[in-house]
Structure 1
Amino acid sequence: MRITGKTEVYGIFGFPVKHSLSPLMQTAAFRALGIDAVYVPFEVSPENLDKAVEGLKAMNIKGVNVTVPLKERIIPYLDSIDKTAEFMGAANTVKNIDGKLYGYNTDGDGFVDSLIEEGIEVRDRKVLIIGAGGSAKAIAYALLKSGVNRIVIANRTIEKAESLADKLKGIGDVNTVSLLNINSVIDKFDILINTTSVGMEEDDPFLFDYNHIKSYMVVVDIIYKPFETKLLKVAKSKGAKTINGLGMLIHQGARAFKIWTGKEAPVEVMRKVLLEGLK
C-alpha cells in the first residue's frame, strides 16, 4: 500500500480494540476499489473519548467505526444522528464532514442484509430472540422495520426482556418469555436468533434444550468465533438452516463503507479476508 499526502484516514474507536477484524475488512475494501485510504485501530478509553473526538476533527479523520464500550457514550459528541442511532441511543459509524460529525447505527440493518444474502425472507415471519442487550435491540428494531410478523424476546432476567419489549412495542408485535420456559414454545417460531455471548467458549452450557429445534427453522447465532457454536451444530443436525455472525459483521461494515465513500462495498473481498483472518 502506497501512502501519500492525499491518503485519507479512517479507523475504529474501541476499548479494547486489538481483537477487531474491521481493519482487515475495511482496508481490503479500500484496496479492492482503488480508494486512497487507510483504516487503523484507535484504542480509546471511555475517559479519553472527548479528547479522541476532538482529535478526530483536528486531524481530519474522515470516519470511524465505534465499538464497545463507546457506542452509547459517543452520542453526545455527534452533531447529527440518523433515526436508527437515535432509537438505539448508540452509534457504530461516524462520518466527519468538514468538522461536523454524523452518526449512524448499521448493526441491525447489517444483520437483516446477512439474512437476505442467505435467501431468508423475514417479512411475516415469527422470530424468537434470545438475549435482551444492545445486539438484541438493534436486530429486533431492524427486523420489525423489515416486516417481521412477531418477535418474542427470551432472557433469563425477564425484567430486562420486558424493558426492551416496551421500547419496541410502538413499532410492532413484541412479547417476552423467560428463557427457562422456551422449550415448550420454540416450535411456534420460524427464526431463532441467539444474541448472547453464550457459545463463545467450548464449555459454555446450552441455552435451552436444543433437541426442541425443528428442521423447518432458521437458527442464527451472531457469534462468529467459533465459526460453528454448539447451538448451530445441533441445529444443523436437526436439518435446520444455520447462519453464524460473520455475515452480520461483514454487512454492518459494508453499510459503514458506503456511508463513508458513497460506493457499494466489495462484500466478497471483505468476506475472503475475514475468513483468512479467522483461520
Structure 2
Amino acid sequence: MVYRLGLIGYPIEHSLSPWIHESFMNQVRVNGSYRRIEISPDTNFQDEISMLKQENLNGFNITVPYKQKILPFLDQVDPGAADIGAVNTVCVKDGEWIGYNTDGMGYLRSLVEEYPEIIKQDKVHVLLLGAGGACRGIYHAFVNAGFTNVDIANRTIEKAEEIALLQGGGTVTEVFTLEEATRLTGRYDLIIQTSSVGMKPETDTSIIPLNQIKKGAIVSDIVYQPIKTAFLQQADDLGAKLHYGHTMLLYQAQYSFEIWTGKRVPIGEMDRELKTILEG
C-alpha cells in the first residue's frame, strides 16, 4: 500500500511535519508521501475541502486555523476529539473522513517517555497555564489518564472554567488567575505552559514568574521555538526538571501515524535530530 498523507493549515510553508512523517515511513518501511496542503483564509474553505475529497488521501493533519473549521466536513468524530472540540488528525477509512485529536495524548506520551515516574505517583499536583486549544487537549488527556489534581490558570478565568467542565469523576480542578497562580507555584509537582507566550520573536517574555517551585518539580513548555524558552530558563535557574515542547510535536505525530497505518514508530534519535534542526 502507498499512503497519501498531508497537512492542512495556513501558513505551513516551514512546517516540519513532512520531515517527521517521512522519517516515520522510512523507519517502518512504509511507502508513501506527506505533503503540505496550504489553504489560504482568503479562499473558500468548503470548495477547497470538496476538491480535497476527490484526491483519495489516506489521512491528513490539520493545524491552525482549521482545527475547528474542519468539523462539519467529517463523517465521524472520535469521542475524545468531540469533547475537546477540535480535530488535528483525519483518517480516511472506507471513504469516510474520521476526525481525531492527538495533541493531548501526544503531550502525555512525550512527558511519560522522559519522566515515567509521573504516571506512577499518587496525587501528582498539576498546573496548566493558559486556556487555549492546547490546554484543552492536554487537560482532557490528563483527566483520562487518571490524574486526580489538575488545576488551570489563565488571564481570563472564564476560559479556564470552560475547560474545567471536562473533568472526570476522579479529577479535582481549581481555577485561578495568572496572578493567583504566581503565588501558588510551590504546591505543584508539574507545571505546564500551554500558551504561545515566549514564542519567537517574543522570546524574552514569560507567562508568569516562577518565584518559588517545589523541589524536584517538572516544568514544561509546549513552545518549541526557541527550544529553551524564558519560562524554562527560569525553571532551570531554580533547579527544576525540564520538559521541552518539541517532544510534543514528535509524539502527537507518532499517534497520528499510528492511527493511519496501525504502526507505532519509536522516536529514538528523532528527538535529538529535531532539536538540532530547530536550533539551526
Give the structure-2-normalised TM-score.
0.91
Q: What amino acid is aligned across from residue 155 of structure 2 in structure 1?
A: R
Q: 2:240 maps to what in 1?
A: 240
Report the CA distance between 1:224 and its aligned residue. 1.0
**1:25 corresponding residue in structure 2:** 20
Q: How does 1:137-176 map to 2 (within 5 A)?
A: 137-168=136-167, 172-176=171-175
Q: Does residue 107 of structure 1 match 2:106?
A: no
Q: Cα deviations across residues 42-92 of structure 1 (Å, max 9, x unaligned)?
A: 001355332333233311111100001111111111111111111011111
SS in structure 1 opposite 2:251? helix
**Counterpart of 2:11 in structure 1: which amino acid?**
P
What's the CA shift string for 1:240-271, capped at 9, x where partnerless?
A: 11001111111100000011111112412543
Partner of 1:3: none
Counterpart-to-counterpart distance in 1, 2:203 and 2:176: 25
The alignment partner of 2:5 has SS state of strand
Distance in 1 separating the partners of 2:127 and 2:184: 9
Corresponding residue for 1:260? Answer: 260
Q: Which runs of 5+ in 1 are unaligned?
A: 1-5
Amino acid paired to 2:153:
A
Q: Specify the SS of the correspondent of 2:53.
A: helix
Where 1:267 maps in the other structure, the secondary structure is coil
Equivalent residues of 2:250, 2:271 under 8 A apart: yes
Q: Does 1:210 align with 2:191?
A: no
Other-structure match for 2:79: 83
> Which stretch of the first structure deviates more once superposed, 250-259 or 200-209?
200-209
Using the alignment, how far apart are the partners of 2:12 and 2:269 within structure 1? 22
Q: Matches of 2:272 and 2:178 in 1, distance apart?
A: 36
Equivalence for 1:37: 32
Question: Cα distance 1:77–1:274, how it changes in 2: closer, same or farther (>3 A)?
Answer: same
The change in CA–CA distance for 1:257 and 1:21 in structure 2 (over 3 A counts) is same
SS at match of 1:220: strand
Decide whether the 8 Å contact of 2:205 with 2:230 is kept in 1.
Answer: no
Q: Does 1:70 align with 2:69?
A: no
Alignment coverage as a number of residue pairs: 274
Structure 1 residue 202, shift from structure 2 partner: 4.8
Q: Distance in 2 between matches of 1:269 and 1:82?
A: 31
The residue that corresponds to 2:250 in the other structure is 250
Q: Which moved more, 1:9-18 or 1:201-210?
A: 201-210
1:147 CA drift (Å): 1.4
Question: 2-side partners of 1:267 and 1:31: how far apart?
Answer: 12
Residue-by-residue CA offset, 1:85-133 (whole Å, 9 max, x unaligned)? 1101111110112321111111000111011101241453111110011
Using the alignment, how far apart are the partners of 1:48 and 1:274 within structure 2? 34
Structure 1 window deviating more from structure 2 (74-83 vs 203-212): it is 203-212
Unpaired runs of 5+ in structure 2?
none
C-alpha distance in structure 2 between counterparts of 1:96 and 1:53, whole Å: 14
1:49 aligned partner: 45
Give 2:5's aligned residue. Answer: 10
Bigger mean CA deviation after superposition, 263-272 or 77-86:
263-272
Tell me, yes or no, if the aligned pair for 1:198 and 1:204 is still in contact at 8 Å.
no
SS in 2 for 1:172: coil
* 2:132 partner amino acid: G
Determine helix, strand or coil for the equivalent of 1:268.
coil
TM superposition shift of 1:276 = 3.9
Deviations 1:181-237 (A, max 9, x none): 223211111110001111114554332222322332110000111010111112112
Instruction: Detail structure 1 runs of 4+ shifted over 6 Å in the superposition.
Output: none
- The one of the two structures with greater contact order (alpha-carbon pairs below 8 A, sep at least 6) is 1
RMSD over equivalenced CA pairs, Å: 1.9
Task: Summarize deviations over 1:151-197 as a string: whole Å, max 9, x none.
Answer: 11111112222222234366721120110122321111111000111
In structure 2, the CA distance between the partners of 1:129 and 1:273, relative to structure 1 (3 Å rule), is same
AA matched with 2:144: K
Question: Quick one: which of 115, 118, 133 aligns to 1:119?
Answer: 115
AA partner of residue 244 (structure 2):
N
AA at the equivalent of 1:172: T
Would the aligned equivalents of 1:28 and 1:269 in 2 still touch at CA under 8 Å? no
Q: 1:271 to 1:203 in 2, by over 3 A?
A: closer
Q: Secondary structure at the match of 1:209?
A: coil
State the partner residue of 2:196: 197
